[in-house]
Structure 1
Amino acid sequence: MNIAVIFAGGSGLRMHTKSKPKQFLDLNGKPIIIYTLELFDNHPEIDAIVVACIESWIPYLQKQLNKFEITKVVRIVPGGATGQDSIYKGLCAAEEYAAGQETTVLIHDGVRPLIHEETITDNIRKVEECGSCVTCVPATETFIVRQADDTLEIPTRDHSFIARAPQSFRLTDIISSHRKALAEGRHDFIDSCTMMSYYGYKIGTVMGPMENIKITTPTDFFVLRAMIEVHENQQIFGL
């Protein structure tokens, strides 16, 4: 079984929106999160979707799911205090739904709507191959890492990637890592692949599209609007 766990529990302070969290901003009459959910809802190998959402916005999300005929969402759970906590709540709901079946989970941001069907397929295949994976894009600029002694490490660009999403795992492995973190009182892992690496899992990589950005700032929103227009033109003109 393959379950997408979509987390949309953030309020989007960097977007400077007042009326709506960023995941519910409309673009051409459709909320950003619906663009994201459609990718997984339409994928033939995704069996179910779980969403972790801001609790007060769950009724609105349910209305949007009905309006846009998103049929694979099987659970909507309230988000947590951190991204890590929201993901854990989503994983628990996925565990309940899977009911002991061997399951791959694809963890994805609700505000990352520019992946391709191929990216989802590649994540599923990579987990079958090695158990864990993170979607990446090549580093296009030089990284500089400041060490504890104030010296600088500059990794070569050929060996540097930018981690994005989906980040995909065997459900039993990722939920076990979350429970270890909770037992240790840790709620500060920046993302799932960081947590899994910390607990000793080897992470495979999947190369995704460069446009697979997270819609975090107003600039990102304008990029998304431009990319949606490009995709629509491709459909109309067969480009």
Structure 2
Amino acid sequence: MTGGVAAVVVAGGRGTRVGGALPKQYRCIGGMAVIRRTLMAFTAHPDIAAVQTVIHPDDEGRFADAAVGLPVLAPTHGGATRQASVHAGLEALADRAPDIVLVHDAARPFASAALLDRAIAAGRTGAAIPGLLVSDTVKAVDPAGRVVETLDRSRLRTVQTPQAFVYPALLAAHRKAAAAGRDDFTDDAALAEWAGMSVAVFDGEPGNVKLTTSDDFRRAEADLLAALGDVRVGTGYDVHTFDETGDHVWLGGVKIPHDRGVVGHSDADVALHALVDAILGALADGDIGVHFPPSDPQWRGASSDRFLAFAVDRVKARGGQIAHVDLTVVAEAPRLGPHREAIRARVAEILGLSVDRVGLQATTSEKMGFIGRREGLVAWATATVRLPWTTP
């Protein structure tokens, strides 16, 4: 890919003002890492072809967990300053040579699609930044704290990200600053101004806040819970019989060796089928048979992760999010213990959740009934979904 629009997401900071051992971009709000929310906003935008993240070298594992399943480029490592980190991200995009690049802080997880639209359009002019009008009176003070001037707030803006630029011009400006030994620019607009670029301002968003302190996190958590206050719980159930052919079964998206296969129109993954029904049930949106009827030949042998991804998309289309899922699989064989964590990880990947939001229990029927006779498998699932409040 060359040309088009790319984004550099800067995520190398330590976030010391928040406190705690975990860098703030990897802390969770609403059950999801901040950086994942940020990356999802950019990867979901139809006009953004590449997302390049810049991370701290110590965060490789954290980033891999937070970004699992997202179509992002392999991260590059940042430098000692924000400016150096952005430069590293721009250089990592050199082979792709995008036309426009957006530079965004990972700690701003609430950038809307409309804001990204405005950023892309404004970036085509050369250099542009989102800004907000200043509503409070602003005073300039001397070192003793005495007011020396009341500033004209009509000329002032508070500035956000994503900042948008013609890519070759911003890369050249960063290279020029590096060659000159300048490493003190706190945002890319200031560096662009120093390099002689004209920087325009487009409308930012009040909700596009940067999470800096523990109070910011508390407010963000409260806002998310208030916005997604309609909590739904759905349950699902599925059962499939063994046949005498085959050498594996699919459970939770994981292929497990077994001496028999399972009868089913698709891949007969009872765990994922039950989970699809649980999510659709929470939405009051039918069941797996309604959306994927076994009479339709296109679903013959289909991988059940497609069905689960469909259910996830139904939640997103309602403006909601999946908060937690829990699975119980009942079988005398195969034994699921060795595969438990692989199943949890695969389900979390499909759902876009952290693994600690995927429960899995495996049990037997104590040799009673058709399960006890090893004639089949059963799975139950529960899904907790948060949706925006709507007027009945």
Q: Same fold (TM over 0.5)?
A: yes
| Amino acid corresponding to residue 37 of structure 1 in structure 2 | L
Q: Which moved more, 1:79-88 or 1:134-143?
A: 134-143
Unaligned runs of 5+ in 2: 230-318, 320-386
Alignment of 1:202-217 (within 5 A): 202-217=198-213
Q: Is the 8 A contact 2:15 2:24 kept in 1?
A: yes
Q: Deviations over 1:47-82 (max 9, x none)?
A: 11000011111122112222xx211x1130111101
Aligned equivalents of 1:6, 1:202: Cα separation in 2: 23
The answer for the alignment partner of 2:36 in structure 1 is 34
Cα drift, residue 103 of structure 1 = 1.6
Q: Is the 8 A contact 1:3 1:48 kept in 2?
A: yes
1:65 paired to 2:67? yes
Aligned equivalents of 2:17, 2:209: Cα separation in 1: 15
Alignment of 1:12-91 (within 5 A): 12-18=15-21, 20-66=22-68, 69-71=69-71, 73-91=72-90
Q: Is the 8 A contact 1:7 1:52 kept in 2?
A: yes
| Residue from 8, 11, 14 that aligns with 2:11 | 8
Secondary structure, aligned partner of 2:173: helix
| Amino acid corresponding to residue 134 of structure 1 in structure 2 | I
Secondary structure, aligned partner of 2:74: strand
Cα 1:183/1:80, change in 2 over 3 Å: same
Cα 1:179/1:153, change in 2 over 3 Å: farther
Aligned equivalents of 1:176, 1:86: Cα separation in 2: 15
Cα drift, residue 177 of structure 1 = 0.8
Cα drift, residue 111 of structure 1 = 0.5
1:140 paired to 2:135? yes
- Structure number with the bigger relative contact order (C-alpha 8 A, sep ≥ 6) is 1
Alignment of 1:141-156 (within 5 A): 141-145=136-140, 152-156=148-152
Q: Is the 8 A contact 1:95 1:171 kept in 2?
A: no
The answer for the alignment partner of 1:159 in structure 2 is 155
More helix by share: 1
| Amino acid corresponding to residue 94 of structure 2 in structure 1 | E
Aligned equivalents of 1:7, 1:90: Cα separation in 2: 8
Secondary structure, aligned partner of 2:196: coil
Aligned equivalents of 1:32, 1:10: Cα separation in 2: 13
1:228 paired to 2:231? no
Task: State, as a whole percentage, how many aligned pairs show the same letter.
Answer: 27
| Amino acid corresponding to residue 216 of structure 2 in structure 1 | D
Aligned equivalents of 2:84, 2:40: Cα separation in 1: 24
Aligned equivalents of 2:117, 2:215: Cα separation in 1: 29
Aligned equivalents of 1:44, 1:36: Cα separation in 2: 15
Let me know the Cα RMSD of the aligned residues.
2.0
| Amino acid corresponding to residue 54 of structure 1 in structure 2 | H
Aligned equivalents of 1:143, 1:135: Cα separation in 2: 20
Q: Is the 8 A contact 2:103 2:162 kept in 1?
A: yes
Cα drift, residue 185 of structure 1 = 0.6
Cα 1:153/1:199, change in 2 over 3 Å: farther
Aligned equivalents of 1:24, 1:143: Cα separation in 2: 34
Secondary structure, aligned partner of 1:186: coil
| Amino acid corresponding to residue 23 of structure 1 in structure 2 | Q
Aligned equivalents of 1:31, 1:182: Cα separation in 2: 32
Aligned equivalents of 2:227, 2:207: Cα separation in 1: 12
Unaligned runs of 5+ in 1: none
Q: How many pairs does the alignment contain?
A: 230
Q: Which moved more, 1:187-196 or 1:205-214?
A: 205-214
Secondary structure, aligned partner of 1:81: coil
Aligned equivalents of 2:150, 2:191: Cα separation in 1: 24
Aligned equivalents of 2:58, 2:34: Cα separation in 1: 18
Cα drift, residue 136 of structure 1 = 1.0
